[in-house]
Structures are given as structure tokens and as C-alpha cells.
Amino acid sequence: MRKSKVLISAFISMVMVFSLFLFTPASHAAGEEAVENATTAHTPIVFVHGLSGSSSNFIYIKAYLKSQGWSDDELYAIELPSKQGNQLLNSAALDSFVDSVRSKTGHTHVNIIAHSMGGANSLYYILNRSGSSKVDKLITLGGANRLTTSSAPEGVNVTSIYSTSDTIVANYLSILTGANNIQISGVSHIGLIFSSRVNELILTALQQ
């Protein structure tokens, strides 16, 4: 009986040693892979379009950022399910999209650049779907921000760029307490996503 117990103890010890040998390298490799995935030079950017817009709306801004050193694998534009700006549908889609970008790049945070109603949708996501823990910077362009909140979310660096020449979204809707509110003129609502001046302001906001 005593001999059997000794044999059983020896067997258990061998299994434990084998398990450590088998699983420890795998965990180490997984850690190395996570580090490798986070080697992009910049925090990934997620672009969020407005009413009746599409992911292609940001082609000019993306081209500019690429000329400034960003790469394709750092720039992601979402195609929102509700072109009418439904907050619940779009924030849920944005939540999933941001998590996908974070998983793909290995980064814990993203920066968001949003146009028009995309600003309100992004703020809703940040405030109601734990986006505040995943978003570092939010830059809105003619954002209908106050349809969601009047103040910048805590812990998120918010820049709101708006134009006095915007006849679609009233300026007061773009201004947020606690945000870096930047007023320009001579640029239309749609022009905000095709303006070299706005691009320079975006670059400055991203570098802060």
C-alpha cells in the first residue's frame, strides 16, 4: 500500500513538471506576440462619419496623415449601421469596431476623428459604453456634440473644430465645456473634411 502511494506521488510530480514545461513557453510566446502587435508608431485612429456619410468621407484627411508619417495599419474608418445617427445602434457598432482595432494593433487606446453627427455618436459611445477607458483623444469636426453632452468626457482629450461658415451644424452644438474649442471661418460643413487648414489643426491636436 505504501509502495502504491509512493508511485502515485511520483506520477503526480512528473505530470506537474511536464505541465510546467508544456505551458510556460506558450504563455511567454503569447506575451511576445502582444508586444509585437503594438509596434506601430502612432496610436491607431478611428474615423467616424456623420449623417448620410460613409467611411470614404475621410480619404483626404487620411492621405494627409499618411504624408505626415501615419501608415495604413494605423488608420481605420467605420461604416456606421445607422446613417440617420441612431445613438444606440452606432455606439454599439463603434464599441465593437474600437475593440477590433485595439485587438488588431495591440494598442490599449485609440484616437477618434469624427465629423458632424459622428461627434455625438462618438461621445455617446465614450460616455455610455465604457469608451472613456479606450479613447485617448477625440477630435470633432463640426460635431453635433451637444446632442449628447455639454461637457468633454473626463479622461479624454477633446478638441472641437468648428466653422462660422457652417450652415448645417450650429456652432453652439460643437462647443463643449472642458474641450479645446477651435473656431475657424471660411470653411463649410462638408469642407471641414477637405480643408488643409483643418488638417493642420488635427495634426496639432494629435500631437498634444
Cell numbers placing 86: 441612431
Residue-level pLDDT at 38: 61
Encoded amino acid at 182, one letter = I
Residue-level pLDDT at 7: 39
Q: What is the crossing angle of helices 117-128 and 87-105, to 10°?
A: 70
Please, are residues 113 and 44 in contact by the beta-carbon 8 Å criterion? no
Residue-level pLDDT at 37: 54
Determine the straight-line distance between the first and last CA of the chain, rounded to whole angstroms: 73
Please list, in sequence order, all residues whose beta carbon lies within 8 angstroms of the beta carbon of residue 71, skipping any fewer than 6 positions away: 40, 41
Active-site residue list: 116, 166, 189
What is the side-by-side strand order in the sheet with 157-163? 75-77, 45-48, 110-115, 135-141, 157-163, 180-184
Going from N- to C-terminal start, the domains of the chain cover 1-37, 41-207
CA distance 108 to 46: 13
Which top CATH class is 41-207? alpha beta
Residue-level pLDDT at 39: 59
Strands 180-184 and 75-77: unpaired
What 3 state SS string does 156-183 have? CEEEEEEECCCCCCCHHHHCCECCEEEE
Please list, in sequence order, all residues whose beta carbon lies within 8 angstroms of the beta carbon of residue 98, skipping any fewer than 6 positions away: 46, 110, 125, 131, 134, 135
Residue-level pLDDT at 11: 38
Confidence (pTM):
0.82
Q: Average pLDDT per run of 10 along the chain, which is 208 residues long? A: 42 36 33 48 96 97 98 97 96 98 96 98 97 98 98 98 98 98 98 98 97
CB atoms within 10 A of CB 19: 10
**CA dist 142 → 13, 50, 116, 185 (Å):** 66, 10, 5, 12
